[in-house]
Amino acid sequence: MPSFPSSLLDTARGAYVRSPHWVQNLLKPAVSLVPTRLKFGKTYRVWRQRIARAANDPDYAREQQLLALRKLLHKAHEGSPFYREIIDQAFDHRFDPETITIEDIRRLPVLTKCRLKQAGERALAVPRVMVDRAETSGSNAEKPFSFFLDKDRSAREMAFVYDAWSRVEYSESEPRATLRGFGFGARGDRTHEWDSALRELRLATFPLTQADAAHYLDLIDQRRIRYLYGYPSSVELFCRHLERLGRRPRLPFKGILLVSEPLYEHQRLLISSTLGDVPISCFYGMSEKAVFGTCVPGQLGVYDSNPLYCLAELIDDEGNPVTEPGVEGHLVSTGFLSTGMPFIRYDTGDFARLVENPSAANGYRLRVAAVAPRRKPDFLVMRDGGRMVTMDLTSEDPAQYRGVQEFQFYQDTPGEVKFRYVLSRDGRHEDAQRLVSALSKRCKGRLDFRLEPVSRIAGGRGGKRAFVDQRLDFALY
């Protein structure tokens, strides 16, 4: 077999995943024959080793984080006119990457999407041809944001993802069923497809009817799949259908791999009651590749940032570090994964509560809880302007949701919430009323709920269902 440069193979892997459907169809037969060891490549294996070592050696983790920071700042200063001005001003034109410390990061300003938009391609530290253009999906509260990522990022990124998944014993050779996306095929009119190259059974999340769920389970059984990957909201709906069908996978799942949304306690309990005591793996990341956190085992909604991936900070409204556990702050991060367009002290737009600041004792990982997403804010605004985190609002008792198949909170006025719901086949309006009464009691009457029956809960990009459809400008609250 001919030898190819590692960077070329890394770029090719990412290009396959992002290529049009017809291109993937042409390449699948050939790619599926490539041994797993070669498919993931040397870069991937080296990073898995580095990640594992950092998890067990705090000194190594800190050393590598500092080295990555120095290399990033040097690259930004040398290659980007935008960052050169910022760094020269922060270091009084005496910038020396060899003398930089972790604490020096605070000398630099926090950068917002707005400022990076204004910078445009001046923010690039490499020629434009070396990066891919990407874009966040945006929302009612935020316009889409265009940025650039390294073409060869795929192998490095997957090393962190598979490290998180390895906590439930998922490996590169295991097939998985994926609940993401609206439809498949050239016209997007198919509810499922099998990608032999990635060993992935893709299942559409919309509309995900009871009949769809039954068919999906048949496909999972046929391929003897033991791992399920997708949005918590989609896995929740799939489990509700299985519960009503009285069906379970022929081979019990070994793990659930969740992504992109918070996992609520009532969802975890439903998954457990339907699929058994299956270990769950969650990670927190973002399109810009500026931050990555892995869920702490046994602690729902608590994440550790990875020091090889980023330098994460939690700051207050004045820009000072949050030091008191339990206090909420703005999540700011400097990313090391993709550096063609550096993200240095980047305001993610997300909020989180401090659990523990980085130290030698925790492997120099920022530990946070209750991450409130930026584009799909995970809170409701009360009449007095205070925020109610929906994870605190929803009940942990699965019986509370009897008769209600799906639901969503919609808000465009402080203190007022529309409770959109889809009844199950045997559900009644009284079931929704009972649930809303319990929610009102739980929030001590500080929110007024109005019932709104709907036929379906609409999904966003990729089929993700927003738990909170928040139309308020949450920067004001």
The confidence score (pLDDT) of residue 11 equals 53
> Which of 166, 138, 178 minimizes the C-alpha distance to 44?
166
Instruction: Write out pLDDT tens, residues 143-154.
Output: 568 899 999 999
Rounded to an integer, what distance in angstroms lies between the CA atom of residue 420 and that of residue 435? 12
Q: Mean of the pLDDT values across residues 75-91?
A: 98
Angle at 467 between CA 462 and CA 470, to 5 degrees: 100
pLDDT score of 136: 75
Model confidence at 392: pLDDT above 80? no
Phi, then psi, of 207 in degrees rounded to 5: -85, -10
pLDDT of 71 over the 70 cut: yes
* Contact present, 414 and 447 (Cβ < 8 Å): no
pLDDT value, residue 13: 54
Assigned CATH for 170-278: 3.40.50
Name the more confident of 477 and 470.
470
Query: What pLDDT score was predicted for residue 405?
Result: 84
Contact 228, 177 (CB under 8 A): yes
pLDDT tens per residue across span 265-299: 888 889 999 999 999 999 989 889 999 999 998 88
| pLDDT, tens only, 319-372 | 999 999 999 999 999 999 999 999 999 999 899 999 999 999 999 999 999 887
Residue 137 has pLDDT above 80, yes or no: no
Q: What is the pLDDT of residue 240?
A: 87
Tell me what pLDDT residue 69 has.
98
**For residue 208, pLDDT beyond 50:** yes
pLDDT at 252 (0 to 100): 96
Single-letter amino acid, residue 23: V
pLDDT of residue 124: 98
Q: pLDDT value at position 396?
A: 53
Instruction: Mean pLDDT check: name the lowest of 6-15, 90-99, 398-407.
Output: 6-15
Q: Output the CA–CA distances (angstroms, integers) from residue 223 to 194, 218, 305, in the order listed.
A: 10, 9, 35
Percent of the chain scoring above 70 in pLDDT: 83
Confidence tier at 139 by pLDDT (50, 70, 90):
very low
pTM for the model stands at 0.77
Q: State how far the Cα of 396 lies from the Cα of 401, in Å rounded to an integer.
A: 10
pLDDT band with cut points at 50, 70 and 90 for residue 175: very high
Q: Where along the chain do the CATH 3.40.50 domains lie? A: 170-278
Q: Residues 84-92: what's their mean pLDDT?
A: 97
Which pLDDT value is given to residue 36?
Answer: 56
- pLDDT band (50, 70, 90) for residue 181: confident
> Is residue 391 scored above 80 in pLDDT?
no
Which ranges in the chain are annotated with CATH 3.30.300.30? 379-476
Judge residue 197's burial from the number of C-beta atoms within 10 Å of its C-beta, 0-12 exposed, 13-18 middle, 19 or more buried: middle
| Residue range 379-476 in CATH 3.30.300.30 | yes
Q: Model confidence over 426-467: pLDDT tens digits? A: 899 999 999 999 888 877 777 899 999 998 887 655 556 677
Stretch 220-225: mean pLDDT: 98
Choice between 233 and 48, residue whose per-residue pLDDT is larger: 48
Q: Under DSSP, is residue 147 helix (H, G, I), strand (E, B) or coil?
A: strand
Higher local confidence (pLDDT), 4 or 304: 304
Residues 295 and 329: their CA atoms lie apart, in Å, by 19
Determine whether 82 is exposed, middle or buried from the number of CB atoms within 10 Å of its CB (0-12, 13-18, 19+).
buried
From residue 451, give the alpha-carbon distance in Å to each of 3, 79, 308.
63, 55, 47
Q: How confident is the model at residue 411 (pLDDT cuts 50, 70, 90)?
A: very high
* Residues 284, 259 contacting (CB under 8 angstroms): no
pLDDT at 161: 95
pLDDT in tens, 104-126: 999 999 999 999 999 999 999 99
Q: Report the alpha-carbon distance of residue 310 to residue 365 in Å, rounded.
A: 10
Q: What is the mean pLDDT of residues 189-214?
A: 88
What is the Cα–Cα distance from 235 to 243, expressed in whole angstroms? 12
Q: Assign 200 a pLDDT band (cuts: 50, 70, 90).
A: very high
- 24-33 average pLDDT score: 51
Angular region, 385: left φ>0, alpha ψ -120 to 50, beta rest = left
Name which residue leads in pLDDT, 320 or 22. 320
pLDDT at 407: 87
Q: What average pLDDT does range 15-43 have in this prediction?
A: 58
